[in-house]
Amino acid sequence: MGQALRGRLSSRVLRLPRLYPIVDAEMLEERGIEMGTFVAELRDAGVTLLQYRDKRGNEEQILRNARMIADVFRGVDCSLIMNDDPVLAMLSDWDAVHVGQHDAAVGYARIVLSAEAIVGCSTHNDQQVVAADIARADYIAIGPVFATSTKMDAEPVVGLEGVRRARALTKRPLVAIGGITPENARSVIEAGADSVAVIGALLREGSTPGDMVKRFLEAMPAAESV
């Protein structure tokens, strides 16, 4: 895991896969889905990057789940990203963290992990995109692109135009998030996103998470090779 991340960052140019799945512990628990089974389906469907998000779990639970996720992907070239907390990423022996506007700063996160760590940052408007670019985030997330029910306190929708503006403001890898489905994913990529982050869209009724991964990948143009 760590070796794969460091290799991708050797020239400080991060290449993101088209699909950026987020494993949300709370959502899985609410739907009665076992996290290990869910993560294994993502692995088997070809996922090469995922973020683990747990807003309610205590440190012990988060570290236990992080070890489980790492075990599922052991031997697989997959980048594992911890949400919010660089200290928990470090304790999990993960080399990547994603921070929000109210979480640890990009610079602090890199001090806690390492100078070569991947640090992504959430943004919701032009000013935050510029700030994340100046802070040298390895990738910048913009959203919500469309209306979403995943977060009760979601920021205002930025739309495809918000993705286009973000693309014009930074050359860093751009992840779009919020209300993205296989039906609209291509339009998001065409607006300038390098990758789409998805949470609830992988849990569509009547389809398995693995099937949804494949639908997303089939809907989008292939990412540029490294």
The active-site residue, picked from 79, 92, 122, 195, is 122
Residue 96 makes CB contacts below 8 A (sequence gap 6+) with 5, 79, 80, 81, 82, 89, 113, 117, 118, 119, 120
Active-site residue flag, 151: yes
What are the structure tokens assigned to 139, written together? 């990738």
- Active-site entry in 6, 15, 151, 165: 151
Say if CB 103 and CB 85 are below 8 A apart. Answer: yes
Distance CA 139, CA 132 (A): 9
Is 171 considered catalytic here?
no
What distances in angstroms separate CA 183 from CA 26, 142, 178, 195, one per listed residue? Answer: 25, 19, 13, 15
**Whether residue 214 lies in the annotated active site:** no
From 8, 18, 43, 53, the catalytic residue = 53
Residues listed for the chain: 226
- Tell me which residues are annotated as active site: 53, 122, 151
